[in-house]
Structure formats: C-alpha cells, structure tokens
Structure 1
Amino acid sequence: MNEPTPIIRAATHLWCAALLLIVPVAAAAQPTATAPATADYIVALVNGEPIAASEVRARLARIEAPTNVAATERAALPRQVLQQLIDEKVLLQFAADSGIRVDDTAVDAAEAEVARRNGLSVAQLRARLPQAGLTLNTFRANLRNELMLQRLREREESQVRVSETEIDAYLRQHQGSADPADTVLELAQVLIPVPENASTDEEARARQEAEEVARRARTGEDFAALARRYSRSPEASAGGRMGLRRADRYPSLFWEAVRDLRAGEIAGPLRSGAGWHVLQVVTKRDASLPDPTVTQTRVRHILLRATDEAAQRAAVARLQALRERIVTGQTTFEAAAREVSEDASAREGGALGWAAPGVFVPEFEQAMERLAPGQVSSPVVSRFGVHLIEVLERREVQRSPRELREAVRALLRQQKADEAFAEQLRELRGRAYIEYREPPP
C-alpha cells in the first residue's frame, strides 16, 4: 500500500473550482504515447469506486507548474495528482458515511459565488463551462464534493480543544527570539545623508541634525512627522516606514541596533555609507506569533431563516431579488434589513458592528472577506439560514493581550486540526481497498 500524500488544503477549498475557468483547455489535451487524449479509462479503484483518466487530466489542467521544473518532477506529476484524487475519494466516502450532506441550495449558492468571482452571471458561467472541458453536471458535482470536504474539515476542527497551558507554553517559546530569520520586523527611519567626499563640517552638521531628530523622537514627538520633515530617504513620504519583512532582510547594522528594543523604541544615530540613520521599531515579533494588529470589518446583514431545502431555495431567490433592488438604488440595505431580516440585528438596519476574524461562521466570514467596502454579496447559505452581507469599512487595530491569546488559540487549533486531519486520512487510506489499473495519463 502506498503511503498517502499529505492532504493538499487547496483541494478542500470550495473556490479552487473557479480556477478551472481560467486554465486553457489545451493544457489537458496533450496526447500520450499509449492513448489519445480523448480516450477514457479507469486508472484506480477506491473501495470499488473508479477514478478515471479524464479526472486526472482535468486536475492536471488546473496545475500551473513552473517552467523551470525538472523533467523528472514533471513526469511524476500525474502520479501525484492521482494520489491526491485517491485521498479525496477516501475522504468523500467517509464524509458520506458520516452523514454529511450538501443540498442543491448550497451548490446553487456556491455556483453563484464562482460566477461572481469571475465577473460573470450564472448563465454566462454555464455558457463558458464547455471551454474548460466541463459539463454543468460535472462542474456542480465538483462543487458539491468540495463543499463536503470543507464541511468534513470544519467538523473535525470543531472538535479540537486548546488549553490555556498550551497557549502559555507557545507564547514562552516564541517571544523574544534573537534569530533574525525567525523575527518579523518593520522599521521606520530618518536618513540624514552625508556626501561621499564630505568635509569635517558637513559630517558634523549631519550628525548634529540626526542627534536632534533622535532626541525629539525619544521625548515622544511623532516619528512619522519627523521623517516627513527631515528624512531624505525614498520612504520619507510614508513616515519613514520601510515595510514588514524578516529581520535578516534588513541591513545587519540595523538589526544589531534594534535586536534588544521593543516596538516604539528608538535606535541611533547610526552611521552607514549613506549617512546617519535614526530608527524606530514599528513592529517586532517572532514569525510564529500572530500579527499584533488585526483587520476589523464593520458589516451588516439580512438573514432569512430556512429549515429545509425548499425554504432555502425560496430564501435565496427572495434575497437575490432584494439584492438587485439594493444595488440599483431602489431601496437601501438598512431599510431592507429593517423590513425583512429575521435576525435580532434587523432593528439596527442589520448592523453587526466591528468584527475581528473568527467571530462569524466560516461561510459568512469567507463571503465577507471577499467583499470590498460598499459591496453587497450574493445570497450566502450558512447553518443559520441565508444572508445578504454588506461590508461598510475596515480598519487596522492593535490586538489586546486577550485578543493575542485568542489568535494563538486559533493558530494552535489549526495546527492540531491539520495533524488530526492528516492522521485521519492515513487511517482511512490504511483501511481502504485501493486497486491501481492503467498508469495515469
């Protein structure tokens, strides 16, 4: 029995199906020495269920391998794709046996979202499927399978628990790293240049100016304003900020000066070949820790509850019509929410306030993250019903200590879920009967 390949998370993401629409069909139509590209045959059986050569070709068409890949690696790609398809087949069988079901309404919503992400209507999307070598039935089957895998993973993740002790241990392990390769750093600088053949007086004046900038920065004056006024570096107009990167990608002179400093503290003046530098530490953290800032979204929604597939279908149709009225200016989102939403937020015009990542259920959050401020989503199906979502604005805020711990909890939960999911796949493959037939194309 072959060892299963590591589960490729992209294969369990719903929207990887959208990639099929932008990959040239010709990529999957190269003839082989043993069979024409149009021939189809069984390459493997998984507990009696076949995997066809056409499935391998279709997946290969979605892979954009770098042009510099060695011939031996490129030749191994069909076999790797087959192993991925076997993994997915095993997981889909397990999901079905576990009672996970995906109804047509959820597939309809997924199809509408793929169309939206490609800038198409559903009718236009369907018209283009043959160009990607797909029938409508095959495309919808792919979406249904991806939704099943997504729900299987979400179910496994919901069973993972992370203790406070584990969070404490992770923070102790990763705080205060002295290795620049493990440190994420953003610096801001004020550069006072010194000409290559500067006189003693020019050197002294530049140093004096840099020392004055450093003094003012250390007494609490706004560093960005100082950079805009005094710095002659290219990033002066951005307040001197040089961008977030690994610390070993900054000059060693800078890292040695700030390695023992905390965010907000000042280093310098430092002399380099370019002149005198005054540095401020904007961000400094271990690369394994969550970002100390988080993007919050101010969002509102309209919810129609649905207890069965027929009710979901009706809710999707009703909200789609309502969305058309909103985007064409016939009504406002706030007024529509007050009128029809079945959520407690209806009296507030659907307002849900400012939300950090992880607050909402995955279906809602994924749709919300894809919206720009001012955009209204297509109907989104979640466990609570069917939603219309509007993003109002976004902002970056500093995490509180409690929020940082919750971000670490989410990170550890993800790691544990990955390990549990991979172990589950190994067990399922170990119990599965896998029969290889013809080599994959």
Structure 2
Amino acid sequence: MNFCVRALALACMLTVSVPASMAQTSQAADYIVAVVNSEPITFQEMNLEVRRVGQRLAQQGRPVPGADELRRLVLDRLINDRAQLQLAREQGIRIDSVAIDRAEQNIASQNGLDVDALRQKAANDGFSVTSFRNNLRDQLILNRLHEREVESSIRISDVDVDRAIQEQQATNTDPFAQEINLAQILLVLPEKASGEEAAALLLKAQKLMQRARNGEDFNALVQEFSAADRRNGGQIGLRRGDRLPPAFVTATQGLQPGQVSDVVRTGAGFHILKLIERKAPERLVVTMVQTRARHILLRANAQMTQAQAIARLTDARKQIVSGQADFASMARKMSQDTSAEQGGDLGWASPGMFVPEFEEAMGRLQEEGAVSPPVVSRFGVHLIQLNDRRRVELSPQQVRESVRAQLRQSRYEEAYTAWARDVRARAFVELREAPL
C-alpha cells in the first residue's frame, strides 16, 4: 500500500474527523483570513479546524503547540489543500459517487459501524452527511493528484538499487535472515500431560537453564537430560533463522555466542537453547509474510444493492462465527467469485496482491479462522477468513523490487514537500488581518 493511500486511510478514519472547513456552524460573526486564487478561507473554517486539531493532539497524548503557532500551522495546511484541490480541478480529476460510497463504507467497517451509524456519529459531531461526503471526495481527489504528480516523478535507477542492497546487506540485523547454530536440551512433554505435570517439567527445565547459565558443561547436560539428538553436543547446525522454529529465533536473537536462552515451550516440550554461532548472510536475504485466506464476494447489481449485499454477508458472518455454518460451504453456495468452487480459497498471497481495502481488512485478522466484517472494494462486497500465514524468502528479483519500493517510499516525503511548495508558490495567496 503506497504512502498516499495510507495517508488517505488515516485522514478518513472517524477519529480524525472531517476538516472544519466542511463543518456546519451557527456562529454568525465571520471574516476572510486568506484568499487562494480568489477562493476565500474564513475565520470560522480556520478556528474550527484549530479546535479539532488541538483536541485530537490532546487525545493522542501529543504536545499541543501554542495558540498562535497552531493557528499558523492549520492555516498553512488549509491554504495548501485549497491550492492543490484547485490544481486537481484544472487537470479534470473527478471522483464519482461510487468511489465515495466505497470509502464511506470502509470507514464504517473500520470503526465497527454501519453507514447509518457512521453518519449519525458525524451528525453528533456537527457534520452533515453532505459535508462528510464532500470531505471524502476531496481526500480521494488529493490522493489521485498526488499519485499523478508526485509518485510518477520519483525515479529510482538500477544503480540506486544496487547501492541500497549493498548497504542493507552490510547492516542486516534481521534475525530470520542471519545464519545461527544452536545447541538444545529438550525435555519432552507428553501429549496428554496434566497441568501439574507440565508445571513440574517446566520447573525442571528452569533449573537446567540456570545450571547452564552458571557455567556447567552444556554438552554434559545434553547427554544426561536431552530427548533430542545428542550428537555434537545437541547442536542443530548452522541454519538461516527463517528455517528454524520462530520461537527459537525470537528467544535467542538478543544473545551472544555462548549465552543460554530462557526456557522455550513448543508442541514438543521445553527447550533450553545455547547460541553457538551467528553469521551475517552472504547475500541480502529478505523475507515476507504470505497470507492464505478465503473470501465470499457479492457484486452489487440490479437485483441486489450494495446495502443488501452487506446485510447478506453480515448474516453469513454471524452463522460462521457462531459455528452454525462453514465458511467454505457458504462460499461455494453464495460467492460470485471464480474461487467459489474452491470454497473461496485464494491461495498464498504476497503483500500488495489485493486491492488496499481488501488487504487492510485481511491484515487486521490475527487468529486462524477469524472472519472480517463485510469489506467494500471496487469489485463488490467481501467476507474474508484468515486461514494461515507463513514467512518466505524473496527471490533475487523480488528483493530488487522490494528495495526499489523502499527507496520510492523513502523519497516520497521529500518529493511531496518540494511539489507542494511549488504548487503553493504558483498560487496567488493573500493573507488578511481581522477587521477592527
């Protein structure tokens, strides 16, 4: 997900309410504080936005600038946004109501609300439905403008990628990319062991760990107590971190050679691990987490509106979560996607393979079997179930593309700042004093 989309997602969250320039107010006294290419910004707009930003910073526990500084910063942002929206209009950038509907539905889903409840909350905060949707439209317009004007201007050469790969390889501290050799003592926990038996075995493991830390010969302890392979002092052999149990890597990532980890529990039992050797990778190794999920897709059409699709999938989710129905069976029966025959199975997916709305909802699912609320994308309405996650190594070409994306993102802020400064410089901006 690129920087612009992330910024849009943050700006559109309900907790970050719409700009005060869109808010309705009954305050009668008002005057113009700035003019941007003949388009005015009023004191009411600025003042409401100042209060909103100040309240949000306070809620987040962040320092709130002084009143004069906060007004200056807010007015500066309002001027920049106004100039950029004017440029977008000049370039013919338009956002249709379908895209606004989709953004509104996604905000509601992210906040655990339906659209009506979202609109009611906005109304309670003083924002009409029209002003709220106008803000979404403006944010989508700015997002599209930034993609066109800023992202397209960033150039990353092969030389840039080569240099970045060399730098990352020299400073790679990812424990899953490093090669490590561990020796272990394994105390097997029987599959049907009681809680008392597990506690007793844990106590035994902790005592062995302490003996090892106190300097007793680890090889002798391995030979006497370990249920794992005892050859070569229980050493597993030099392996890359992503080819070891994740719990082993996590438990030993802060150790120096010769040090002993805390007790690690796995399905096999309790492990005491000693770090024998750690080596930096000979080439840049990049791993990523792939996700396997299922989904049910309903498409809005003449026979079924988007609201009806959301209602149907909300009911389906209740049945699945309560155990009354199986996700795969529901997908075969309901889904309008080609994956329906496979029970909605989408296979292993790398980050960025799906549209942002789908990807974000899938990323919020933490436990295997968890089911998302209905998610609206340009393809329709989805219900998503997490099946599994795994860490895999990227191919050399994928590593280059990953590094290129990192460079692009790191250069975005600089490129955006320069572009925004240029747009501001080309606009006619007049600041006005308060009337006497």
Change (3 A) 1:143 1:367: farther
Match of 2:216 in 1: 208
Match of 1:92 in 2: 85
* The one of 132, 136, 149 aligned to 1:139: 132
- How far the C-alpha of 1:405 sits from its partner, in A, is 2.8
CA contact (8 A) 2:365 2:386 kept: no
Asked if residue 400 in structure 1 is aligned to residue 394 in structure 2, the reply is yes
Asked if residue 368 in structure 1 is aligned to residue 386 in structure 2, the reply is no
Q: Helix, strand or coil: the match of 2:57?
A: coil
- RMSD, aligned CA: 4.8
User: Deviations 1:373-401 (Å, cap 9, x if unpaired)?
Assistant: 5323424232xx32414132342403234
- How far the C-alpha of 1:64 sits from its partner, in A, is 0.9
Change (3 A) 1:334 1:206: closer
Asked if residue 49 in structure 1 is aligned to residue 58 in structure 2, the reply is no
Cα distance in 1 for partners of 2:251, 2:326 equals: 42
Match of 1:317 in 2: 307
Asked if residue 414 in structure 1 is aligned to residue 409 in structure 2, the reply is yes
Match of 1:357 in 2: 351
User: Deviations 1:194-250 (Å, cap 9, x if unpaired)?
Assistant: xxxxxxxx99993233466796364539999xxxxxxxxxxxxx6583597xxxxx6
Cα distance in 1 for partners of 2:87, 2:294 equals: 37
Bigger shift: residues 419-428 or 140-149: 419-428
TM-score, with normalisation over the residues of structure 1?
Answer: 0.65
Match of 1:195 in 2: none
User: Deviations 1:110-145 (Å, cap 9, x if unpaired)?
Assistant: 222222322323222222223323222222222222
CA contact (8 A) 1:295 1:397 kept: yes
Write the letter of the residue equivalent to 1:410. A
Structure 1 unmatched ranges of 5 or more: 1-7, 29-35, 193-201, 225-237, 245-249, 258-266, 271-276
Write the letter of the residue equivalent to 2:49. A
Structure 2 unmatched ranges of 5 or more: 186-209, 223-231, 242-246, 261-272
User: Deviations 1:23-59 (Å, cap 9, x if unpaired)?
Assistant: 9x9xx9xxxxxxx987543322222223333433236
* The one of 95, 100, 107 aligned to 1:107: 100
Cα distance in 2 for partners of 1:312, 1:432 equals: 45
CA contact (8 A) 1:223 1:239 kept: no
Change (3 A) 1:313 1:381: farther
Q: State how 1:120-135 maps to structure 2 within 5 Å.
A: 120-135=113-128
Change (3 A) 1:114 1:393: same
Q: Percent identity among equivalent residues?
A: 35
* The one of 8, 32, 57 aligned to 1:64: 57
Match of 2:168 in 1: 174
Cα distance in 1 for partners of 2:240, 2:233 equals: 9
Change (3 A) 1:137 1:401: same
Cα distance in 2 for partners of 1:139, 1:360 equals: 27
Q: Helix, strand or coil: the match of 1:294?
A: strand
Cα distance in 1 for partners of 2:290, 2:168 equals: 25
* The one of 278, 293, 298 aligned to 2:292: 298
Aligned residues: 364
Cα distance in 2 for partners of 1:314, 1:98 equals: 35
Change (3 A) 1:363 1:216: same
- How far the C-alpha of 1:346 sits from its partner, in A, is 3.7
